[in-house]
Amino acid sequence: MSYKILEKKEIAMRNIWYRIHAPHVAKKVQPGQFVIVRAFKNGERIPLTPVMWDRDEGWIVLITFIRGRTTMRMASELKEGDELLNVAGPLGNPAEMEKFGKVLAIGAYTGIVEVYPIARAWQELGNDVTTLHVTFEPMVVLKDELEEAVGRHVLETVPIDPNLDFPTNMKNVTKRLTEKVRELLEKEEYDMVFMVGPAGDQRAVFNVVKEFGIPMKSDLHPIMVDGTGMCGACRVTVGGEVKFACIDGPEFDAYQVNWDELIARSGYYTDMEQRAMQEYMKALQGGEQ
C-alpha cells in the first residue's frame, strides 16, 4: 500500500494541508475518528484527524499544525508525490450522531480542523450548529468551508504580540476564548457544547460552560503510541475510571474528565520534545551551510 501525498500546501501560518491516498481509511472513516501516521523510517507515530475524504477516489485530507519535530519534519521534508510510510486507521470511536438541537462547536487553534467533519455532519443531520474558531490572526483555516457547512461560523482572532513570549500570547487566546463562549451562552440557549483544543483551554471553557449547566463533550488528546489500545499511554480518568482515549474515546463527557490530571500528563515529554526539535533545527541549519 502506498500513501501518496497527492497535494500539499500551506494554508495558514504553521498549518499544512495534505491530501493523501489512503483508500482503506477513506472507505470507512466517520466524523470523530483519527489515523496514526508515521512519515519517516526513524519517525514516531502521531495521531491526526481526517478532515475531509472521498470514499470513491480514496483520499483523505490531513491538516497539521507545526508543533514539534515530527510535524515540522513533515512540513519541510515531504513534497507532493512523496509517500507517507504508514497511515493506520480509522481509529477511535465515531462522534455520536444525534439530534441534539442547538450546538456550539468550538475549535481552538488547529483544533478547528477536527471540529469541521463533526460539525458538518451534525448540521446535515438537522442540528443547528454554530462553530467558534479562536486562534492567532495568521492561523485562520477552513473559514469558507465552515461558513458553507454549518448554520453560523464565528471567527475570533487574536494578534500575536511580538513583544510578548509565546506562553503569554497563548494566554490571550485563552482569555478571548472564555469571554466569547460566555458571551454566546449568555445571548442564546444552546443544548450542547463540543470542543477540540489544548487541555488547558478545554478546562477553561468547561468551567464557563459548567456555570450554564449545559452538556459538554470534549475530544481529548493525550499522548498516543499505537492508537489501538495496546499500551495505555493515552489513559485518562473519566468518571473515576481509567479509560484509554484511543479506544474508549477520543470524545468524552467533559463533566466526567479529570482535567488537572490530563493537563499534567500532556506535559510529560516537553523536555525531550524540545530536544528533538532543537536537534532537528540544528541539523537543518547545518545542511544549509
Partner 1 sequence: MARPKLIKERVPTPERPVEERIKSFVEVNLGYDFASAVKEAERCIQCPPEYAPCIKGCPVHINIPGFLKALRENADNPDEAVKNALRVIWNDNTLPAVTGRVCPQEEQCEAPCVMGKVGDPINIGKLERFVADYAREKGIDEELLGEFIAETDGKGKVAVVGAGPAGLTCALELAKMGYKVTIFEALHEAGGVLMYGIPEFRLPKDILKTELDKLEKLGVEVKTNYIVGKTVTVEELLQEYDAAFISTGAGTPKLLNIPGILLDRIYSANEFLTRVNLMKAYKFPEYDTPIAVGKKVIVIGAGNTAMDAARSALRLGAEVTIAYRRGREDMTARIEEIAHAEEEGVKFEFFLTPVEFIGDENGKVKAVKFMKMRPLEERDSRGKRKIEPTGEYVTLEADTVIIAIGLEPNKILVEASGFETNPDGTLVVDENLMTSIPGVFAGGDAIRGEATVILAMGDGKKAAKAIDEYIRSRRANA
Could you list the residues that contact partner 1 (CB under 8 A)? 1, 24-25, 28, 33, 38, 40, 42-45, 69-70, 73, 85-91, 225-226, 228-233, 235-237, 242, 247, 258, 261, 264-265, 268-269, 272-273, 275-276, 279-280
Considering only 17, 59, 65, 194, the residue that binds ligand FAD (CB under 6 A) is 65
**Distance between CA 75 and CA 10 in Å, rounded?**
9
Whether the Cβ atoms of residue 60 and residue 2 lie closer than 8 Å to each other = no
> CB 185 → ligand FAD: shortest distance, Å?
26
Q: Which does 113 bind (CB under 5 to 8 A by kind): ligand FAD, partner 1, ligand FES, none?
A: ligand FAD
Which is nearer to partner 1, 78 or 214 (by Cβ)?
78
Residue with cell 526513524: 42
Which of 9, 159, 269, 279 touches ligand FAD (CB under 6 A)? 269
Q: Does residue number 252 form part of the binding site for ligand FAD (CB under 6 A)?
A: no
For ligand FES, give the closer residue by CB, 5 or 246: 246
As beta bridge partners, residue 153 has 131
Neighbouring residues of 135: CB distance < 8 A, sequence distance ≥ 6: 108, 109, 110, 112, 156, 157, 158, 173
- Point out which residues bind ligand FES (CB under 6 A): 224-227, 229-234, 244, 246
